[in-house]
Amino acid sequence: MERKHFLAAELFAYSFANYADHLGVNDRFDKDMPDEVSVLETAERDNWSDDRVARALKCDVADVPGWRVQFRRAVAIVDAPTPAESFRRAVRVSIIQAGKEGLDSELATERLVTQVCYRAADLAVLLQQTGTTLDHYSEELRRDPERPYGNFESNSV
């Protein structure tokens, strides 16, 4: 998979493996979703107005701020310096989202567990893509939270 496919998978909430399975058999995955990623990437780079983004994406202008946040999060995850950091960022997003939705039931907890498992599956795809193994990132995955890798704002990862 190419970067645009990883971004599209992240933006549209598909696991990397599921997205890869659709490549070459579905124009939505081969062209449509990557085209929307390109629109958002250009909009970020060139500082497009929300109106212009809405026209390009054919969506309501009220939806554009959410698309921008989702795109920035996708970029932070996909462009992380290592597969381990990508995993950490993705899990962080899943936990923050679960916290916003509430973790007040067994079902909510199980949904979070499922999301973390999806993130682990995504990590497996990244490891395969980079030709590395999980043990290579053992120390990075066990990093002390008192010494974080990066500083993330609340609307980022």
pLDDT in tens, 138-149: 999 988 776 555
Indicate whether 38 and 49 sit together in one domain: yes
- Is 43 part of any domain? yes
pLDDT mean over 21-41: 96
pLDDT mean over 82-86: 96
Specify whether the CB–CB gap between 40 and 50 falls below 8 A.
Answer: no
DSSP 156: -
Res. 113: pLDDT tops 60: yes
Indicate whether 46 and 90 sit together in one domain: no
- Is 156 part of any domain? no
When computed from its CA atoms, the radius of gyration of the chain, rounded to whole angstroms, is: 16
Indicate whether 118 and 86 sit together in one domain: yes
Specify whether the CB–CB gap between 4 and 19 falls below 8 A.
Answer: no
User: Six-digit token pair at 128?
Assistant: 């395969």
Say how far apart CA 95 and CA 113 lie, in whole Å. 9
pLDDT mean over 85-106: 94
Res. 155: pLDDT tops 60: no
- Is 72 part of any domain? yes
Please tell me the predicted confidence (pLDDT) of residue 148: 56
Q: Which position has the higher pLDDT, 92 or 150?
A: 92
Total of domains in the chain: 2
Res. 153: pLDDT tops 70: no
Res. 154: pLDDT tops 50: no
Last residue of a domain, one of 53, 79, 105: 79
pLDDT mean over 107-128: 97
> Which ranges constitute the DSSP H helices of 58-147?
64-78, 83-101, 106-130, 138-141
- Is 134 part of any domain? yes
Indicate whether 9 and 73 sit together in one domain: yes
- pTM for this one? 0.88
Please tell me the predicted confidence (pLDDT) of residue 147: 59
Range of the domain at 112: 82-145
